[in-house]
Each structure stands twice: as structure tokens, then as C-alpha cells.
Amino acid sequence: MLRTKEQYFEKLTEMKPNIYIGDEKVGRDDPRLRPGINVLSITFDLAQNPKYKKLATAKSKITNGTVNRWAHLPQDPYDLMEKQKLIRLGARRAGGCIQRCMGHDAISALSICTREIDDAKGTNYHERFVNFMKVYQENDLVGCCAQTDSKGDRVKRPSDQPDPDAYVHIVEKREDGIVVSGFKMSVTQAPYADEIFVIPTRALMENDKDYAVAFVVPGDQEGVKLVTRPVWHRQKDEDDAPPICRTGISDSVIIFDNVFVPNERVFMAGEWEFGRRLAMLFADSHRHSYSGCKPAVSDIL
């Protein structure tokens, strides 16, 4: 299914309020988040526009159907070139960051690393990931990527931190899933994402194995709290705002307060040898995304 922006908006309003702006707990219909949502709407409009549909969509090898390119896993250099063109087009229309590349770069990294972990460890993370991707693509979902931990004392490794929550980590393993705690910093588009992908931020050692964790949870999962920097800091009417204020970026500190993640949504749980690999795969894909959005800013200038 290729969603319309109206369907995207509707789903956001149905999500449980877990966003905090200052001392307020707000829903995803808060007008201070609207400029960021307007940016994401561009990604849906392009996929619905016959003029851009070939660029903004792709044939999925997972569903065998047409999917939004933002939910597509690149298969060859052509896909990567089309992704770059789409980012440049979208960023020109948004007047800056198109934001949806975060989720795309996360799924690109996970598609590779889950297979590599399985090959080395005999796990079944890749099968779980592919099963999740069927749902993700069929419903044209928006994902954000929570990678950057607060890091605490930069001299100390994750397992040596005085506050273990300085890095997101596993606090309990159950037969049906894991429980995680900690927080991630500066997560772009988190307040208006359907799903939150979580991956490591650095190389890890065996003592850090509880910090070797990758998973995905709904944006309003129980125990997830978003401490959010809004696009607008004051309530205002979008219709009265100048055009430059109608799009923008909001980001969040995401708190994981003993969050349960079922096994089918867990893609790494203790495989510390692959922490660096997954972190760098995301970074490499994100640098490729930059090769589309940064020229777009130059186009505007």
C-alpha cells in the first residue's frame, strides 16, 4: 500500500500521547510538531504523483509489490542512484532535510548486518527482520533511527559507566523477548515516526555485550517517552506563518524506561562483535543520503 499523507496524519493522531514539550505531555496533533509532519507529507505526495511515481516507488523483492522507495531495500547501484535523486528532489521541496532517510538508512544497515550475525552465530535475526519488513513496506510506515547514546563519561566504556542508562542496554532476557533501558539523544523526526529503530552507536567489547542491542518498537510503545524539541516554541497558527516556517525538523531525547521488546522485533541481543559493524553500516548509508540532501541545499541557495 502507498499511503496518502492524510492516512499518515490519521495514524499519528491515533497513537498514544508520550511526547513531552517542556512540562506538557502532548499528542502528535500538537501544532508545534506540524512543520516536521509537513516535511514527511512530501514523501507521500511524491509517491502519489504520476510525474514522480517511478522515482518515488520501487518493486519490492519482499512483497513483490510496489512500495514507497523510503521503505525499499536497495538491491543494486541503480536503486542507490534513485534514492539519491529522490532525496535531492524532496529536500528541495522541503527547503532542507527530508528526514525520512533516517529510517531508510537503518533498514539498509539492518538488512546486511542481521544476515552477517546469522551466518556467524546461527541466529535467526534476518528472518525476523524480513518478516518485519513485510509489514513495514505493506503499510508504508515511517521509521526514525535512534543511534546516538548520551555516552556519559567519555573516558569509560558502556559497561563501566556509573549510570548504566547512559547507553541503551538489555536489563532482562525473557523467553519471549528482552527488556531494555536507557536513552538515545538527538533523534530526528521521532515525534512523528510510526516506528523507532534502535542500533548501537560504537564499537563494543565482550564486557559490553548487554549494550549490543538492535530492535524496533512502535513510537508509542509502553515505557517509551519522547522529550522533544519542537519546531515552534510557541503555539501559532500554521496559516499565519511565513512559508519558511511551514516546514522544519523536530528531534527528541528518547527514554526507554524498562521497555519490553518481543523477540520478533529484536535484531541483535548480545552479539558485541557486530556493534561497530552495524553502527558503521548505518553511517555509510547515511553519508550516501547526504550526497542527495546537501546538494539540494546548494540548489536552493
Q: What is the pLDDT of residues 10-36, one digit of tens each?
A: 999 999 999 999 999 999 999 999 999
Domain that holds residue 213: 16-300
pLDDT at residue 300 above 90? no
> 55 in a domain, yes or no?
yes
Please indicate, yes or no, whether the overall pTM of this predicted structure exceeds 0.85. Answer: yes
Per-residue pLDDT tens digits for 218-277: 999 999 999 999 987 666 555 666 655 788 889 999 999 999 999 999 999 999 999 999
131-140 average pLDDT score: 98
Residue 301 CA to residue 20 CA, distance in Å, equals: 34
Q: Is residue 1 in some structural domain?
A: no
How many domains are there within the chain?
Answer: 1
pLDDT at site 246: 82
pLDDT digits (tens, 9 = 90+) for 162-215: 999 999 999 999 999 999 999 999 999 999 999 999 999 999 999 999 999 999
Q: Which residue has the cell 513496506?
A: 137
Q: Is residue 271 part of a domain?
A: yes
Q: What is the CATH number of the domain that holds 184?
A: 2.40.110.10
Q: What is the pLDDT of residue 239?
A: 62
Instruction: Specify if 145 maps to a domain.
Output: yes
